[in-house]
A and B are shown apart, each in its own frame.
Chain A
Amino acid sequence: MNLVLAKTDTGRAISDIFAVARDRLPGAGKIADARRQAFESYERAGLPHRRIEDWKYTDLRVLMRDVLPLAAAPDAAALKRAEAAAKAHAVEGARRLVLVDGVFAPKLSDVGRLESGLSIRTLRDVLEADDAALHAQLLAPDNSDAMVALNSAMMTDGLVIEIADGTALTQPLHIVHIASSAQPAAMFTRSLLKLGKTAGATLVESYIAADGAKSYQVHDALVLAIGDGARLDHVRLVEDGRDAFNISSSVVTLGTRAHFNTFGMTSGAGVSRYQAVIAVAGEHSRVETNGVNLLNGRQHADSTLFLDHAVPNCSSREIFRAVVDDRAHSVFQGRIIVRPKAQKTDAKMMTRALLLSDEAEADNKPELEIFADDVTCGHGATTGALDESLLFYLRARGLSEKEAQALLIQAFVGEAIEQIANDHLREMAIATAQRWLEARA
């Protein structure tokens, strides 16, 4: 592989990282070419910074500064610590699929007795195999975003899950990303979930740290392909360590009469960014995308969602809530585009931020671009503090200041959490929020 070495300081470091890692990166031929091209795009752009419009509020040159070297494959001790972390974050009844330091860990995962119609492979195996169609899907994320390009260049492992036409999984799938390395390191993962026609699945993603994990970087990408008439319920919980970076991108496409219900909650990581591109490409489809940020200390969390309505008769709902304490910073950028053909689109987005301290910060940037004339679209954004008169009412009834705040915050985030369709996952999200509130008290 011919590498053009970068001249800048930061670029130089990353060239070395790629050069050192490339023997460990799966895939030859076209995959290797794609990696090299992706890497070149990344090198030209470097880490995103505030002058890149999409990254205006999340300047990685300031916040992250460097990309860390690729994490070493976990040893037995690391796996043991990861196992304990996985158990502590188990989702009852779910099929657990664990990635430790960016590498699939079969011993910690439930890959036995797959239901018929369900196929699970690792990204490594798929990239090493000869499967042009899957490769094309895996390479779908757009490398014009520098962090996607970096992930395309460096992706090491992940899960490739296919659900056959007509198969409705009863057991939720739970992908657990665990960082265990005591050395500062980066992991680069990419996963694909493909739902065939009228298939159904529930996917949970957790990002956590094992005991002893040091500052680390998660660079993740997810491709979701939801077939005609299929339904996917998706929940992502970012509970990384406070020193960690979590940069995740997802690309979602919906067929006809498909339904995508997604919810994200970020309470962990020092700096996180979740960027999703959702293409509503089949008529009569529905998207509900909801999220909650629960931030304190000096946390920075950015959710940047792009909903692309390309065809008629679809609906989308976005509800986003941020609770920001101390000197934390929450960013929500929600862009909805309704293309000329997408008549009868019904798209609504509502984002609200609650600031619990004078130094807390929230940036809300809703954008609606409508090119069709027969549509119902709307958005709203508010930022404010807790309502004093409500707080007083509760305190006059015997609740302490923290208890009163907790009840109001629960109600505030509840508006987003309520949208989770799966009862068990909704309870889990409520419990996570409750833990966050209890930790404040």
Chain B
Amino acid sequence: MSLLEVKNLQVRVEEREILHGLSLTVNPGEVHAIMGPNGSGKSTLSHVIAGKPGYQVTGGEILFKGEDLLEMAPDVRAAKGVFLAFQYPVEIPGVATMNFLRTALNAQRKARGESEYSTPDFLKKVREVAASLNIPQDMLRRGVNVGFSGGEKKRNEILQMALFQPSLCILDEMDSGLDIDALRVAADGVNALRSPERAMVVITHYQRLLNYIVPDVVHVMSKGRVVKSGGKELALELEASGYAQFEDAA
């Protein structure tokens, strides 16, 4: 069974249609890259998959492990293994990162009928993952993303992904704002999570990221549709020729 099946998805925001019949199938173990010009609807797709309010699905469906994803609340989706690393992670003053991570992890485990982590086990796990991503401990004591640099916010997203071990990881421009070293560390973090059961959807503007996280499939999105899909060489093609050829196709 496919992990994710998006079929002919139509989405409106405030009376304006953004996605016009988008289809995408992702199987376990695969890494898909989505590229496409600004405003083509990449973040919109990721938000609709994660369950963000404010989007009106007017047609099509999304199946996750064969279940109707659109019927589920965002937290139910998270517990079932959907994870979105946001393009713009929000700052949450007054909620300590550690407290947030523990509350989130235990909420997901509880929803799945698993036992909650004990405090020492949890701390040990977070410290391990943070160390592997070069995230200093003092960052974890601060409010969620509060005063984090752009790159630190992105690393905090990867940290959560590593902690929650979701089965579908959608990474919305995780490379933006990361310096070259941080990019390599974050990509290593993502690659460490690659497994036969798990799939990744990597949204990016830059081919460079795909040198680190090598995709099985590359999709080109334009004006709310997938207009072309191919192998990893498609990304190189785009790098050379840009999106102009697809604008017409859309």
Give A residues with C-beta under 8 Å from B. 388-390, 392-401, 403-404, 407-408, 410-412, 414-415
Contact digits for B128-143, partner A, Cβ 8 Å, 1 yes 0 no:
0000000000000001
Which of A396, A400, A403, A408 contacts B50, CB < 8 Å?
A396
* A399 & B75 in contact (Cβ 8 Å cutoff): yes
Whether A393 contacts B86 by the Cβ 8 Å rule is yes
Question: Could you tell me the distance in whole angstroms from the C-beta of A438 to the nearest C-beta in chain B?
Answer: 14
**Docked-complex contact A411 and B160, CB < 8 angstroms:** no
The list of the 6 closest CB pairs from A to B, nearest first, reads A411-B94, A398-B108, A398-B78, A397-B104, A395-B74, A398-B107
Is there contact, CB below 8 Å, between B52 and A396?
yes
Q: Which residue of B lies closest to A389 (CB)?
A: B90
* B89 and A395 contact, CB distance less than 8 A: no
Q: How many residues of B contact A (CB 8 A)?
A: 30
Measured between alpha carbons, how far is A404 from B74 in the docked complex, in Å? 11
Contact sample, A vs B, 10 pairs, CB 8 Å cutoff? A388-B54, A390-B92, A394-B92, A395-B73, A397-B75, A398-B111, A398-B164, A399-B75, A407-B99, A410-B94
The answer to whether residues A392 and B74 also contact, given A397-B160, A398-B164, A411-B95 and a CB cut-off of 8 A, is yes
Q: In the complex, which of the residues A393, A404, A407, A412 has the most CB atoms of chain B within 10 Å of its own CB atom?
A: A393
Point out which of A388, A392, A401 has the most chain B C-beta atoms below 10 A from its C-beta. Answer: A392
The one of A389, A395, A414 that contacts B78, using a Cβ cutoff of 8 Å: A395
Q: Shortest CB–CB separation between residue A74 and chain B, in angstroms?
A: 42
Q: How many contacts between A and B, using CB within 8 angstroms? A: 74
Contact with A along B92-113 (1 / 0, CB 8 A): 1111000110011101100100
Please name the residue on chain A nearest to B52 by beta carbon: A392
Any chain A CB within 8 A of the CB of B120?
A: no
Taking a contact as CB atoms closer than 8 A, the residue among B78, B93, B99 that contacts A396 in the complex is B78
Chain A residue at minimal CB-CB distance from B95 = A411
CB distance from B189 to the nearest CB of A (A): 17
Q: Say if the beta carbon of B41 comes within 8 Å of chain A.
A: no
Decide: A393 and B89 in contact? CB cutoff 8 A: yes
Q: Which residues of B contact A412 (CB under 8 A)?
A: 94
**B52:A407 contact, CB within 8 angstroms:** no
- Chain A residues with Cβ below 8 Å from B74 are 392, 395-396
Complex Cα spacing A404 to B100, Å: 10
A399 to chain B: closest residue by CB: B107
A385 to B: closest C-beta gap in Å: 13
A392 touches B95 (CB 8 A): no
Question: Which residues of B approach A to under 8 Å, CB–CB?
Answer: 50-54, 73-75, 77-79, 84, 86, 89-90, 92-95, 99-100, 103-105, 107-108, 111, 143, 160, 164
Given the contacts A407-B100, A407-B103, A395 and B75 also touching, CB distance less than 8 Å: yes
Nearest-neighbour CB distance to chain B for A392, whole angstroms, equals 5
* Contact present for A400 and B75 (CB under 8 Å): yes
Across-interface contacts of A415 in B (CB, < 8 A): 94
What separation, in Å, do the CA atoms of A40 and B143 have in the docked complex? 55
Tell whether, in the assembled complex, residue B90 and residue A397 are in contact, meaning their CB atoms are under 8 Å apart: no
Report the minimal beta-carbon distance from A294 to chain B, rounded to whole angstroms. Answer: 16
* Given A392-B53, A392-B74, A398-B92 contact (CB < 8 Å): no
Question: Do the beta carbons of B92 and A411 come within 8 Å of each other?
Answer: yes
Q: Which residues of B contact A408 (CB under 8 A)?
A: 92, 95
Known: A396-B84, A398-B111. A407 touches B95 (CB 8 A): yes
Whether the pair A395, B160 counts as a contact (CB closer than 8 A) is no
Chain A residues lying within 8 Å of B95, measured Cβ to Cβ, are 407-408, 410-411
B166 nearest CB across to chain A (Å): 10
Query: B163 CB to closest chain A CB, in angstroms?
Result: 10
Q: Name the residue on B nearest A409 (C-beta).
A: B94
Using Cβ atoms and an 8 Å threshold, which residues of chain B touch A388? 53-54
Query: CA A435 – CA B93 in complex, angstroms?
Result: 22
Contact partners of A392 in chain B: CB under 8 A: 52-53, 74
CB atoms of B94 and A414 under 8 A apart: yes
Neighbouring A residues of B105 by C-beta, 8 Å? 398
Closest chain B CB from A402 CB (angstroms): 10
Bound Cα distance A435, B89 (Å): 30
Min distance, Cβ B55 to any Cβ of chain A, angstroms? 11
Return A390 CB to nearest CB of chain B, in Å.
5
Instruction: With both chains docked as a complex, state the minimum distance between the C-beta of A149 and any C-beta of chain B, in angstroms.
Output: 41
Alpha-carbon separation in the docked complex, A396 to B157 (Å): 12
**Closest CB in chain A relative to B103 CB, distance in Å:** 6
Residues of B within 8 A of A403 (CB): 75, 103, 107
Q: Cβ of B79: which chain A residues have Cβ within 8 Å of it?
A: 398
Residue among A393, A394, A397, A408 with the highest chain B CB neighbour number at 10 A:
A397
Could you say which residues of chain A place their CB within 8 Å of the CB of B92?
Answer: 390, 393-394, 408, 411
Q: Would A398 and B94 be within 8 Å (CB), given that A392-B74, A393-B86 are in contact?
A: no
Q: Which residues of B contact A390 (CB under 8 A)?
A: 90, 92
Q: What is the CB-to-nearest-CB distance from A226 to chain B, in angstroms, rounded to a whole number? A: 31
**Chain A residues whose CB sits within 8 angstroms of the CB of B108 once the complex forms:** 397-398
For residue A171, give the distance in angstroms from its CB to the closest CB of chain B.
31
In the assembled complex, the CB of B160 is this many whole angstroms from the nearest CB of chain A, namely 7
Q: Which of A392, A396, A415 has the most CB of B within 10 A?
A: A396
Q: Which residues of B contact A401 (CB under 8 A)?
A: 73, 75
Docked Cα-Cα span, A300 to B74, in Å, equals 34
Alpha-carbon separation in the docked complex, A393 to B146 (Å): 14
Extra pairs beyond A389-B90, A398-B79 (12, CB < 8 Å) = A390-B90, A390-B92, A393-B89, A396-B51, A396-B74, A396-B78, A397-B104, A397-B160, A398-B104, A401-B75, A407-B103, A415-B94
- From A393, A395, A398, A404, give the contact of B90 (CB < 8 A): A393
Q: Which of A393, A398, A412, A414 has the most CB of B within 10 A?
A: A398
Q: Which of B73, B77, B103 has the most CB of A within 10 A?
A: B103
Q: With A393-B86, A393-B89 in contact, is A399–B94 under 8 Å at CB? A: no
Residues of B within 8 A of A407 (CB): 95, 99-100, 103
CA distance A389 to B91 in the complex (A): 10
